[in-house]
Amino acid sequence: MASTYTLPVQNLIDHLGRLPGIGPRSAQRIAFHLLKLPAEDVQRLTQAITDAKERVRFCSQCFNFAEDDLCPICADPRRDSSVICVVEESRDIIPLERTGEFKGRYHVLLGVMNPIEGIGPDQLKMRELVMRIGSEDVREVIVCTNPNTEGEVTAQYIGRLLKPFDITVTRPASGLPVGGDLEYADELTLGRAISGRRRLDD
Amino acid sequence: MTSRLYRDEAVVIRSYKLGEADRIVVMLTRENGKVRAVAKGVRKTHSKFGGRLEPLSHVAVQIHRGTNLDVVNQVETIDSSGRMFGDLDVMTEGLAVLEAIDQLVPDREPVPEIFRMLVGVRKTLAERPSALVVPAFLLRLLASEGVRPELDRCVVCGEVESESTPLVAIDLERGGVQCRGCRSGVGVTSGALALLRDVLDGRLGEALDRAHRPGEQVLDDPVVVEVASIATRAFEFHVERRLRSVAIFERHDARSDS
């Protein structure tokens, strides 16, 4: 099919269309918006992309995104180094930080175990987690993988892996979302909420 | 105009992420075979389906037939996967069963017998788990496909087992056991042969009872290990693919032993 656009415009639309959640229509709209922008705005955008790609790497300790050798959380001396929260991806750190409940450090696995897809512990930062337990003064590991089958398999595996160490391995409670109706809760979530109930006077 | 809605009973086999918060759920249904359908918004914490569509869940579904992909409309739990959550071995074994079914069953072709077996194996995994469950399931699945290995007479010379001609090997390419004179496959012990016969000749219940000891998994029983290896190879030979979840599981065992 012959393109109706000149080659550079078509090229831009094709590249934008490869971004997640951007269909052909949105790609076209963004492309025309970019073409209308002043040159310096476009320059700032390309610079931001290049900078991010060049300067951001993985934290050598927890595999979160970092600008230096350590990410801001690992570099912060006020964080409690005796608690490690294990998450699947860097983006999972953001909602956890927003709760303000967690003051420890993180460990990003960069994925989740998925037996059917053939993703096992060796493809994840599992060995690095065990090495951290050995070298840092860790008392507790909170396994905060997603509460679905893959996340659960990963959590159980970590539990088994860390058994030889003298530390507590915990999993966040599963339960009812605040603002939700009991009537619409699924049996699995409600069942776990019941079995993990707590005393009112605590 | 015929209704575009249909109801069925299903066991969730696997699911893929789709877009921001949706999933494509692959399930084996009683009447419509293997079905792929979109479950909208399941990854949000406020989802109306919640954990009902996790792999291994046994559910009643209402599905809307779409032009391209079907859409899950309503889900009710028949038996949740919750009983299997919390035990790594049971979960991995469950996933191996699902992977085998996913590889064997084509889309949209009713397979009521396999559906019945899947519901059965879920129950067995939850109630009396053992290392024999998955191999037994794989062998029975192959038998239901018509590729049951010959276990009673040598596949080359046709000799029936006796004191003088013991059956000592199994060659999956030739489809069964062999006597000493015709041997070309790998060796098989008489214990494993007896267990294979139990599994395939309707004495599965007793065999599972023997393999199951409450509170512990019998991973190190050499006969079960041998049968498991034969079952996996037979299945992989038939579908001409590796079973990935079984491979990962085997590595687990090696680690937890050390």
Q: Kindly determine whether residue A187 and residue B77, on different chains, have CB atoms separated by under 8 Å.
A: yes
Among A116, A180, A189, select the one facing B244 at the smallest CB separation.
A116
| Residue B109 forms part of a structural domain | no
Give A85 or B205, the one with higher predicted confidence. A85
CA distances from B104 to A130, A184, B51, B200, B252 (A): 38, 35, 26, 19, 25
User: Do B135 and B195 fall into the same domain?
Assistant: yes
User: Do B29 and B136 fall into the same domain?
Assistant: no
- Count of CB pairs separated by less than 8 Å, A with B: 83
Among B19, B80, B88, select the one facing A187 at the smallest CB separation.
B80
Q: Whose CA is closest to B237, among B178, B181, B174?
A: B174
From chain B, the residues in CB contact with A157 under 8 A are 88, 252
User: Do B138 and B244 fall into the same domain?
Assistant: yes
**CATH number of domain containing B27:** 2.40.50.140
Among B20, B50, B98, select the one facing A116 at the smallest CB separation.
B98
Mutation target vs B (from A182, A188, A189, A195; most B CBs, 10 A cutoff):
A188
Strands (E), chain A: 57-58, 65-66, 80-87, 104-108, 140-143, 168-170
Among A120, A177, A188, select the one facing B46 at the smallest CB separation.
A177
A175 Cβ contact partners less than 8 Å away, ≥ 6 residues apart: A189, A192, A193, A196
Residue B257: pLDDT band with limits 50, 70, 90? very low
| Residue B120 forms part of a structural domain | no
User: Do B68 and B142 fall into the same domain?
Assistant: no
User: Do B142 and B225 fall into the same domain?
Assistant: yes
| Residue B223 forms part of a structural domain | yes
Long-range contacts of residues A102-106, Cβ cutoff 8 Å, at least 24 apart: A102/A142, A103/A78, A103/A79, A104/A79, A104/A80, A104/A140, A104/A142, A105/A61, A105/A62, A105/A73, A105/A74, A105/A79, A105/A80, A105/A81, A106/A62, A106/A64, A106/A73
Mutation target vs A (from B56, B88, B217; most A CBs, 10 A cutoff):
B88
| Residue B95 forms part of a structural domain | no
From chain B, the residues in CB contact with A185 under 8 A are 50
In B, residues 115-174, which contact A (CB 8 Å cutoff)?
Answer: none
pLDDT in tens, A93-137: 999 999 999 999 999 999 999 888 888 888 999 999 999 998 878
Structural domains of chain A ordered from first start: 7-55 (1.10.8.420), 76-199 (3.40.1360.10)
pLDDT in tens, B166-185: 888 888 888 889 888 888 88
Amino acid B249: pLDDT:
58
CA distances from B175 to A191, B51, B225, B235 (A): 47, 42, 20, 12
Q: How far apart are CA B192 and CA B198, in angstroms?
A: 10
Which residue type occupies B174?
A: R
Range of the domain at B204: 130-148+179-257
User: Do B143 and B231 fall into the same domain?
Assistant: yes
User: Do B135 and B64 fall into the same domain?
Assistant: no
pLDDT in tens, B59-103: 999 999 988 889 999 999 898 887 787 788 888 889 999 999 999
Structural domain count of chain B: 2
β-sheet bridge partners, residue B8: B61
